[in-house]
Structure 1
Amino acid sequence: MSQAPEGAPPPPPPPPPPQLRGAQLLKAALEQAGSGGQDDVRELLRRRRASFNEHLKWLLFNKPVPSLIQEGPQCGLVALWMAGTLLHQPRAASLEEIIQVALERGYTAQGEMFSAADMAKLAEEVFSCQAELLSGGLEGRNQERLLRHLLAGLPLLIPYDEDSNHEPCLRRGYKAHWAVASGALLGLKGDPQLLDCQEDEEMPGLFHATPPYSSLPLGAVAETYLLSKQGKSCRYQLWSYQQVQESNAQLTHFSPKRAADGKVYVVPGGGVQEGLCGKAVLLQPAPKPSEA
């Protein structure tokens, strides 16, 4: 191999790897979700296996979403981008486009989203989808509505208070954060007939359903966990539904730390309680013209 003449300047460094943008970024993220996403869930279940009630049958269903790490207070917009990948739109909106529309409509100033109603309107505009704003908390009929939505293979956006490990906690809204739920793990009592489900080869008692799945008798559900992602980690998390519901139900106050940081934030007239407490956003593709 020839050497450069003595005293010659060193060769220039190799060019940096190309930065993925727009459609390229989405394609790479979807490939990651399709391969590593399910492996991530399996490893999560292996770690948590000992905590599951062995007297129940467990049903897992999930439509993997790609991961995207937020920069600054963009948790809601990042969660929306992740959820949008499940809507199978002809053209996917980039995070940059979502941020730009949110700024232009006055929904955000720093990337924050303190209004679930604004989140629903933003989703419909950037993804040309249908967004349902759910109010009144995540219990009762709303819980059944959310589970059937996830069973259909559709994404759900949930505001909650984020703990240091990213799990839901109770901080009165001071740590308000957004996550996307794309699946669930259900503990079923009795002997429910799990049609078209496959029992896991490594974990007996765990059954896999492929969304959309409509054969589940929800009356048999004894325990519920949500499979969720949020913008501060690439990995799925498994959260107790009750833990999520309780965190969502106590989002009432704006963080004093944010109020004193000198920045402008867009908060609805009724505050965090009006914008986020007891709210969730359900997304689904808009009906085709022949179906409308």
Structure 2
Amino acid sequence: MPNNQKYALITGATSGIGYELAKLFAQDQYNLVIVARNQEELDETASQLSHQSGIEVITIAKDLFRKEAPLEVYEEVKARGIQVNVLVNDAGQGQYGEFIENDLNRELDIIQLNIVAYVVLTKCFLKDMVARNEGKILNVSSIAGEVPGPLQAVYHATKAFVTSFTEAIRNEVKDTQVTITALLPGATETDFFNKADMEDAKLVREGNLGDPAKVAKDGYEALMSGKDKVVSGLLNKVQVAISNVIPDNIVAENMRKQMEPSDKSSTEK
């Protein structure tokens, strides 16, 4: 099938890593189905991508915090007669603060977005891909899933799920022509930290945040090569390697120090 007849569906495609991935697919002449909550932002993104690359961009405005939304996305795609050749699960959020103090409903929303939406969309589209013996899935996880995350306990746990889930189902379909890849970026310069209310964290204010375009390129190349997992960035690879040999309680304490409010934030206020 020529690339210009192929479709990639991307959640969280209006900003950050998702947007950069959408640009890469568009450059390779994939038509796009982009999913996000805000129709105005979807329309703006669609206009940019179609103008730059001459591809078809279909928008689906769905709030993936809603339990029914992922299945509604799949049903809308099927109703339009679109065959999704590549699924990119990118949409995700976190919440900063002590677990006992954070809002429970907000954390349940994050579990819905970061885990349930991934599972539902993957289940639906993977069945179709296996049936025709063709397709690719990219699940955007995080190196956060490789380490305990004090002050971001739920987010880190959701990403641990995504990585484990991706590795397991990849094994289940290993005898097909379908490949499933996990992308593990580190802290990246996106709107994530604003949404998570953690802009004052030392990791954000003093850390070396990754370039979302570079992260997307690493993920895209790994996906197209059929790799099982890619950690984006040399320093992130080192951090993951070190965390595998240091006791978890020490890793957690080191992560806590990175997550705590920066001294700069208190002096600037």
Regarding TM over 0.5, the answer is no
Q: Which has the higher helix share?
A: 2
Give the TM-score taking structure 1 as reference length.
0.25
Give the TM-score taking structure 2 as reference length.
0.26
Q: Which has the higher strand share?
A: 1
